[in-house]
Amino acid sequence: MSQYVEYLKELFESFGAVQMRRMFGGHGVFYQGLMFALVADDVLYFKADSTLASEFEKQNLEPFRYTKKNQIVKLSYYQAPEDALEDPDQLAIWANKSFQVAVTAKAGKVK
């Protein structure tokens, strides 16, 4: 794991014991078996629904994007606010919001 991913794992301790799994050249961040964040190119992104996305957008935070077959694909993950990367309590607040989005998304898929 990169030093940044190790740092994030420590920072997440105030939220809970997260697991970092390598995937697609980055890392998925999992809590209780659900992916609620990802790390790509040493940038942390949180999962968002339309309501949470507006909170990120108000802070001019960008969604995670990648290029596939010459098209830009935007995922429902947004760059973490800078204050969350410096304060474990702030990180825990954002992580909880994002984890709740993941829980709701999973509940919507399970019938």
Q: Which residues of 51-88 are buried (b: 16+ CB within 10 A; e: fewer)?
A: ebbeebeeeebeebeeeeeeeeeeebbbbbbeebbeeb
Return the pLDDT at 16: 93
What are the pLDDT digits (tens) for 66-109?
A: 888 999 999 999 999 999 999 999 999 999 999 999 999 988 87
Domain 3-109 belongs to what architecture? 2-Layer Sandwich (3.30)
Contact 84, 71 (CB under 8 A): no
pLDDT digits 0-9 by tens, 15-31? 999 999 998 889 999 99
What is the side-by-side order of every strand in the sheet holding 63-68? 19-23, 26-31, 34-40, 43-47, 71-79, 63-68
pLDDT on residue 111? 46
* Residue 1 confidence (pLDDT): 67
This prediction has a pTM of: 0.92
